[in-house]
Every structure is written in C-alpha cells, then in structure tokens.
C-alpha cells in the first residue's frame, strides 16, 4: 500500500487546554512531517521523515497547517437543502421549514441524494466525521451510513424518533421507534467506521412511552451512543415543563426514562439548571456547543468556558441546518464571538482542540480520531493560512504561529481547506 509523507506545520495535542494551561496542551510543530500508511498515521516529525523511505509519495503543504479532520458533533444532514431559512425561532422554525423538508426524505432517492450532497459539502470544509440526526425514515439512516462508507468516513448517526407534536408523516410510535432503531443498530453499529446513536429528537416530540422504549433499547445496547437536544430555548423549556409536570427539570425527562448516560450527547445545553450541570458532569455525559445555530435561531449564549473548565465534556458542532454554515472554521469563529459576549476570550488552541479532540472525546472515539498521533486514523485537514487576500495580509503581520492561525479561524471558509484526507486517502487536494 502507498505510503504518504505530508510536510507542513503539524498540530499536536498533549492534554485538554481548558482544564490546564493551553500552552501545555496544544503545540504546533513548524515545518514538521507526518507519515501515513495503511490508512493510519504511522509516524510524526523526524520519525516520519526517517521512516518514509524513498518510495513514499511526498505531499508538500509548505506553510499550511496540518491538523486532525474536523469533527462535527451535532448536525442534521436532512436539513442541508433548507439551511439559512429566514426569520423564525426554534418551534416555528421546525414547523415552518424543518418538518416539511424532512418529509421530502420519505423518498429514498432524495434521501440518498441529500446524504451524498451533505458529505461532499462537509469534506469541502475539512470535516471528516459527523454525528448526524436523520429523519424518522429508517432509509434516511441507511443513506447516510452508505454514503459515509463509500467515502471511508467515521460516521455517527441514528434514525430520529418522534411520536407526537410533529406532522403525521413524520411520526413513528414507541414500538416502531424501538424496532426500527434496534434493526439499524444491529446492522450498522461497528460496521466499518459506522457508530449508531439512538436518536430521540427531543422531549417535546416523544411521549414518555417512546422515551422509555428508547431507554430500554440503550440499556440492551450500552455500546451505542444516544443523541438528543437539551435546553436550547427558553420557550422550549417551558413547553417541556408543561408536557412533563412530574420532571424536576428538562434533563430529568431523559434521566427518568433511561436516556442519561456517559455515552449520551446533549445538543445545545444552553439554559441549564445547577442540578442539570452537576448530573451531566457526574455521569460523564457530553454536551455539544452549536454556536452558529444558537445565534441564528436566537437561542442564547452557551457557557463554554464555565462548563469546560469545570471538566464537563464539550464537543463543537454546526447543527446544520439550524446552524448557518457547514464550516467548522465559521463555527469556531462563532464560539469565539459567543464567549466574548460572555466576557471570555477562547484561545485559537482551545478552539482547534474543541473542533477535533473535544468532539472526538464526547463521541467516545478519541482513540481513533481527533488527534494526530501514531496509530490514529489518517483523517486530516490541511489549512492554507493565507487563503484570501484579506486573511493573507493579516497573517503576514503575525509575530508567531498562533497569530498566523487565528485570522483563518475567524475569516476562513472552504477556500482555506487545501486538503481533506480520510482513512489515509486524499479526498480533496492531494497535490
């Protein structure tokens, strides 16, 4: 099998830059190297040059930054074609734009087309793994897993489950949600690079019976992940209180039904009560920050620094199509801006860690993706740090490498992605 030697500036992680000094946790080795063999990273730095031998194919990325492929820890691929829909807040936005588009995926051919379109767009943006909601149709999950397998991508996905407060065409039942999710889980979990996530959309669209059924399924298959939404908008939280009068808080609607656990992913988690914050951390659950969505739909300012410093696992995500971009660069920029509105400055090193290793950790795939080290999958993004005249003129003034990287985080888009490697192959920009 061909070996590939990539040269450029290489991003390294030695720890979590939120729980200790970022300087100890994240480093950029300038003019370094990385060797790929059999789809994995075989060596880094001088070891890579030595081990490459004369037959390795050399990809010289010059002054570009070589980093782990971005990991989008919460997205809705079925919403690809309705991203950037104007003027609504969460519940209205779901009813006006989202549900009608998700009904279109009842056509398996359309679902297949959208799954391919979506993954091609994320690869253009340097994203190599996603955790995505699908629609209620089992074939929508099949479509994404198939499209991911065709590209060699590590995909997390699950059939979305809803049995109330949604159009009839998008409702399953407690029993069919259990049966269909179980069949998909059995077929896809661990097949190639696929991981199954049991996916109740959110408490307002599931009866307690459905939540219990999915909690029972998770107990039978604790190896699966579970993904849902939590405390995104104030109106939504009030609705949950009406629908679940017995619950202590929003998280309790999941906790009481077997849907709180370490392998659980709770998207948004903006307006949390102290008890919810404690419980999420105690069980080791992951929360997912969706900053472009939280500003676009007007949801609120997630407490990234407070939660991450306290040891809460946090991933980063676009939340396509509530989020307004497929780009994890744009998403990091929004995370920076939201933290500024809360009076905190997130360092570029912390943002890059969050979009890669941080997301990998909440997906429980940190031993495979999210960092560049021998034995990890060769899922790689290469960033041109001077991709537009505006970015280039700013980067030219930089006094150190971090000052050169930050303008690309704040101002970059898919033009900054000079290559995307998946499973050891250059799907974009092999040069």
Site residues, ligand GUN (CB under 6 A) = 76, 90, 94, 98, 201-202, 229, 232, 293, 297, 319, 322
Stretch that binds Zn ion, among 60-68, 120-128, 260-268, 281-289 (CB under 5 A): 260-268
* Geometric angle at alpha carbon 146, from 141 and 150, rounded to 5°: 150
Residue 271 CA to residue 130 CA, distance in Å, equals 25
Altogether, the residues listed in the chain come to a count of 431
Residue (269 or 408) nearer to Zn ion, CB: 269
Residue nearest ligand GUN by beta-carbon distance: 322
Q: Could you tell me which residues come within 8 angstroms of residue 124 by beta carbon, excluding any fewer than 6 positions away?
A: 326, 414, 417, 420, 428
Q: What is the DSSP letter of 165?
A: S
Residue (230 or 422) nearer to Zn ion, CB: 230
Closest listed residue to residue 153, CA positions, set 187, 193, 190, 183: 193
Question: Whole-number minimum distance, CB 337 to ligand GUN, in Å?
Answer: 18
Question: Whole-number minimum distance, CB 323 to Zn ion, in Å?
Answer: 8
- Residue 319 binds Zn ion (CB under 5 A): yes
**3-class secondary structure per residue, 329-396:** HHHHHHHHHHHHHCCCCCCHHHHHHHHHHHHHHHCCCCCCCCCCCCCCECCEEEECCCCCHHHHHHHC
Bridge partners, residue 8, by sequence: 32
Question: Whole-number minimum distance, CB 121 to Zn ion, in Å?
Answer: 17
| Residue 180 binding target from Zn ion, ligand GUN, none, CB below 5 to 8 Å by type | none
What distance lies between CA 132 and its chain's CA centroid?
Answer: 8
| Residue 64 binding target from ligand GUN, Zn ion, none, CB below 5 to 8 Å by type | none
Residue (174 or 317) nearer to Zn ion, CB: 317
| Residue 272 binding target from Zn ion, ligand GUN, none, CB below 5 to 8 Å by type | none
Question: Whole-number minimum distance, CB 228 to Zn ion, in Å?
Answer: 9
E strand spans, 183-253: 194-200, 225-230
Residue (236 or 252) nearer to ligand GUN, CB: 236
Stretch that binds Zn ion, among 25-33, 52-60, 316-324, 405-413 (CB under 5 A): 316-324
Q: Is 316 exposed, middle or buried (0-12, 13-18, 19+ CB in 10 A)?
A: buried
Residue (205 or 387) nearer to ligand GUN, CB: 205
Question: Whole-number minimum distance, CB 346 to Zn ion, in Å?
Answer: 22
**3-class secondary structure per residue, 293-318:** HHHHCCCCCCCHHHHHHCCCEEEECC
Residue 80 CA to residue 58 CA, distance in Å, equals 36
| Residue 293 binding target from Zn ion, ligand GUN, none, CB below 5 to 8 Å by type | ligand GUN
Stretch that binds Zn ion, among 42-50, 60-68, 144-152, 312-320 (CB under 5 A): 312-320
| Residue 98 binding target from Zn ion, ligand GUN, none, CB below 5 to 8 Å by type | ligand GUN
Residue (18 or 296) nearer to Zn ion, CB: 296
Question: Whole-number minimum distance, CB 67 to ligand GUN, in Å?
Answer: 27
Bridge partners, residue 354, by sequence: none
Question: Whole-number minimum distance, CB 99 to ligand GUN, in Å?
Answer: 9
| Residue 69 binding target from ligand GUN, Zn ion, none, CB below 5 to 8 Å by type | none
Question: Whole-number minimum distance, CB 231 to ligand GUN, in Å?
Answer: 10
Q: What is the DSSP letter of 258?
A: T
Residue (55 or 168) nearer to ligand GUN, CB: 168
Residue (72 or 414) nearer to Zn ion, CB: 72
Residue (42 or 328) nearer to ligand GUN, CB: 328
Bridge partners, residue 37, by sequence: 40
Closest listed residue to residue 140, CA positions, set 175, 92, 188, 178: 188
| Residue 232 binding target from ligand GUN, Zn ion, none, CB below 5 to 8 Å by type | ligand GUN
Distances (CA, A) of 37 to 6, 30, 155: 11, 22, 21
Q: Is 262 helix (H, G, I), strand (E, B) or coil?
A: coil
Question: Whole-number minimum distance, CB 294 to ligand GUN, in Å?
Answer: 8
Q: Is residue 409 a contact partner of residue 329, using CB atoms and an 8 Å limit?
A: yes
Residues contributing to the site for Zn ion (CB under 5 A): 267, 319
């Amino acid at each position: 099998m061909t070996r590939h030697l990539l040269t450029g500036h290489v991003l390294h992680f030695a720890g979590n830059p939120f729980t200790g000094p970022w300087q100890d946790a994240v480093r950029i080795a300038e003019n370094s190297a990385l060797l790929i063999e059999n789809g994995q990273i075989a060596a880094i730095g001088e070891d890579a040059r030595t081990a490459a031998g004369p037959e390795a194919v050399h990809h010289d990325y010059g002054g570009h930054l070589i980093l782990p492929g971005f990991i989008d820890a919460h997205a809705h691929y079925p919403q690809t074609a309705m991203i950037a829909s104007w003027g609504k807040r969460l519940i209205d936005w779901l009813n006006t734009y989202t549900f009608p588009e998700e009904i279109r995926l009842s056509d398996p051919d359309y679902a297949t087309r959208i799954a391919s379109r979506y993954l091609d767009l994320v690869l253009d943006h340097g994203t190599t793994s996603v955790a995505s909601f699908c629609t209620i149709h089992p074939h929508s999950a099949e479509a994404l897993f198939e499209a991911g397998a065709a590209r060699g991508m590590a995909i997390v996905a699950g059939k979305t489950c809803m049995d109330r407060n949604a159009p009839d065409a998008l409702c399953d039942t407690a029993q069919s949600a259990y049966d269909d999710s179980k069949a998909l889980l059995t077929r896809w979990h661990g097949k190639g690079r696929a991981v199954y996530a049991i996916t109740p959309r959110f408490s307002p669209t599931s009866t307690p019976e459905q939540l219990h059924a999915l909690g029972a399924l998770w107990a039978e298959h604790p190896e699966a992940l579970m993904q849902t939404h939590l405390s995104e908008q104030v109106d939504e939280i009030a609705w949950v209180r009406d629908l679940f009068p017995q619950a202590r808080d929003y998280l309790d609607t999941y906790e009481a039904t077997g849907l709180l656990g370490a392998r659980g992913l709770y998207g948004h988690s903006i307006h949390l009560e102290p008890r919810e914050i404690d419980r999420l951390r105690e069980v080791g659950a992951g929360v997912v920050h969706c900053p472009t969505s939280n500003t676009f739909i007007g949801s609120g300012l997630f407490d990234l620094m407070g939660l991450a410093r306290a040891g809460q696992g946090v991933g980063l995500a676009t939340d396509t199509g509530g989020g307004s971009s497929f780009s994890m660069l744009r998403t990091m920029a929004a995370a920076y801006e939201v933290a500024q509105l809360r009076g905190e400055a997130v360092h570029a090193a912390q943002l890059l860690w969050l979009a890669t290793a941080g997301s990998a950790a909440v997906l429980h795939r940190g031993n495979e993706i999210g960092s560049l080290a021998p034995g990890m999958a060769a899922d790689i993004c290469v960033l041109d740090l001077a991709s537009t005249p505006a970015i280039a003129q700013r980067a030219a003034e930089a006094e150190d490498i971090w000052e050169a990287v930050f303008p690309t985080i704040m101002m970059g888009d898919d033009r900054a992605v000079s290559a995307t490697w998946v499973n050891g192959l250059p799907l974009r920009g092999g040069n």
